[in-house]
């Protein structure tokens, strides 16, 4: 359980103007982080952001705080989250800071940190930053104030890195692709990557105005992309979220291909080309169809808690390379230290090129199981373990599924509800079991 006051499982996030997502707090956060990292000696910290209006304000506040603590600052401008992780490594920086609220609307924002290795910060460092946040800000003497400069070629560096992840014996000539950037951080990056690899690119969501990030476009709203793929008779479409670490795709028939299906395509593609090292990590919410398809291919599969932090931790523990979530947050650890939408899309396309099959054909390798989730209201802090009367109902549901599905009960980490999820081959049975189980959980938690 997270016991920190400010840092959650994915940094600090909230509504702009509400503590801690204020300019004053970001100034103090920059100073606190600068003080912690300056213990390693004078160094540099990178700052990148997505396209929401508040990003410029928070960039200035963080920059001032870091410089006042004696840290040099490199400003990257609007950049995808995985690009900041990559550039943090290549610049040998002490840390990288991302100003983004990912797939949330423009009125939310947040901050997360990458270590010098482009990975999420250890708890020890986050705790140290939180401890400094309780101290009185004291600026270093004038001769030790940090210098601030802008990295003018940040986009070009990252574009070349993305292209280098695609097999050199393939290109995208003759391909027509719809690329939806959600009016977010990939708007000036992703179209160039696919275009420079030879594709004809139809752009969607590349006109950010500070307020329209993720609005009716991107990976969380693929409807526009579906329509555009059909209208343009494109080979496929690719949609990213606001900060570029998630991706979903659409095949030529206009069918959405989600993160579970993309993960399977990447894994089988790598196995067929002899490049799959180990197995695949999914989450508790990964569709049972993914697990079964991997099992049929004799590819090991492991589940972990929901969240890319847990997927990454499990990959490192098992020394595997591929993992992800149905939302489209996919990690290819041999190529990137974090989830990367562009890199993941290129791995899917590489699997298409190597197999000679289109996305629609590859999508059929996985038979999605019907899934029903019901949120049951409960008292804050209610644990599943305390609902002893539910055990028998869960066992009964599992018996009726007879090995062709699963039951999952888990408390929400953000609201006072218990999520009841049933998955199986038979849609009607899944609906029946989910409703019955939700009723029993409601009675027990009432």
- The residues annotated with a catalytic role in the active site are 102
The single-letter DSSP state of residue 40 is G
> Using an 8 Å Cβ cutoff, are 222 and 256 in contact?
yes
Distances (CA, A) of 176 to 36, 203, 259: 48, 11, 22
Q: At what angle do helices 259-272 and 288-296 cross, to 10 degrees?
A: 10
Distance of CA 186 to the CA centre of its chain: 14
DSSP 292-357: HHHHHTT--EEEE-SSHHHHHHHHHHHT--EEE-TTS-EEETTT-SS--HHHHHHHHHHHHHHHT-
DSSP 124-180: HHHHHHHHHHTSPP-PPPGGGPPPEEE-TTHHHHHHHHHHHTS-TT---TT-EEEEE
Both tokens of residue 106? 């423009």
HSE at residue 149, side-chain half, CA atoms within 13 A, is 7
> Using an 8 Å Cβ cutoff, are 236 and 362 in contact?
no
Separation between Cα atoms, residue 312 and residue 5, nearest integer Å? 23
- Closest by Cα among 377, 430, 336 to 83: 336
Both tokens of residue 347? 């791995």
The residue to which tokens 């049929």 are assigned = 296
Phi, psi of 15 (to 5 degrees): -80, 135
The residue to which tokens 């004291």 are assigned = 138
For residue 431, count CB atoms less than 10 angstroms from its CB and return exposed for 0-12, middle for 13-18, buried for 19 or more.
middle
Phi, psi of 3 (to 5 degrees): -110, 5
Using alpha carbons only, give the angle 13, 116, 85 rounded to the nearest 5 degrees. 55
> Using an 8 Å Cβ cutoff, are 257 and 249 in contact?
yes
Both tokens of residue 430? 């899944």
Separation between Cα atoms, residue 259 and residue 263, nearest integer Å? 6
């Amino acid at each position: 359980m997270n016991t920190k006051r400010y840092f959650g499982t994915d940094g600090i996030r909230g509504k702009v103007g509400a503590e801690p997502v204020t300019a004053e707090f970001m100034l103090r956060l920059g100073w606190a982080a600068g003080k912690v990292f300056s213990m390693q000696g004078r160094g540099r910290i990178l700052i990148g952001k997505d396209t929401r209006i508040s990003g410029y304000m928070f960039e200035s506040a963080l920059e001032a705080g870091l410089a006042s603590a004696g840290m040099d600052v490199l400003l990257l401008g609007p950049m995808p989250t995985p690009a900041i992780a990559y550039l943090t490594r290549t610049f040998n920086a002490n840390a990288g800071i991302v100003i983004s609220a990912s797939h949330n609307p423009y009125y939310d924002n947040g901050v997360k940190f990458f270590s010098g290795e482009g990975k999420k910060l250890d708890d020890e460092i986050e705790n140290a930053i939180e401890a400094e946040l309780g101290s009185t800000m004291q600026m270093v003497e004038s001769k030790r104030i940090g210098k601030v400069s802008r990295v003018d070629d940040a986009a070009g560096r990252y574009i070349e890195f993305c292209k280098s992840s695609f097999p050199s014996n393939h290109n995208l000539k003759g391909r027509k692709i719809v690329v939806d950037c959600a009016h977010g951080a990939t708007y000036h990056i992703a179209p160039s990557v696919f275009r420079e690899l030879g594709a004809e690119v139809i752009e969607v969501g590349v006109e950010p105005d500070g307020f329209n990030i993720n609005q009716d476009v991107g990976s969380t709203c693929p409807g526009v992309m579906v329509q555009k793929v059909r209208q343009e008779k494109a080979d496929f479409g690719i949609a990213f979220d606001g900060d570029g670490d998630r991706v979903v795709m659409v095949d030529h028939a206009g069918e959405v291909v989600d993160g579970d299906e993309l993960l399977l395509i990447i894994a089988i593609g790598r196995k067929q080309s002899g490049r799959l090292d180990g197995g695949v990590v999914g989450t508790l919410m990964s569709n049972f169809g993914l697990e079964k398809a991997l099992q049929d291919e004799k590819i090991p599969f492991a589940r972990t808690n929901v969240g890319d932090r847990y997927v990454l931790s499990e990959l490192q523990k098992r020394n595997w390379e591929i993992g992800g979530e149905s939302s489209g947050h996919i990690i290819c650890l041999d190529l990137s230290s974090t989830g990367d939408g562009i890199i993941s899309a290129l791995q899917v396309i590489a699997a298409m090129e190597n197999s000679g099959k289109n996305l629609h054909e590859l999508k059929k390798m996985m038979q999605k199981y019907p899934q029903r989730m019901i949120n049951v209201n409960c008292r804050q802090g209610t644990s599943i373990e305390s609902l002893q009367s539910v055990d028998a109902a869960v066992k009964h549901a599992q018996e009726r599924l007879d090995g062709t599905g699963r039951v999952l009960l888990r408390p929400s980490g953000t609201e006072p509800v218990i999520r009841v999820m049933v998955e199986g081959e038979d849609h009607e049975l899944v609906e029946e079991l989910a409703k019955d189980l939700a009723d029993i959980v409601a009675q027990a938690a009432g």
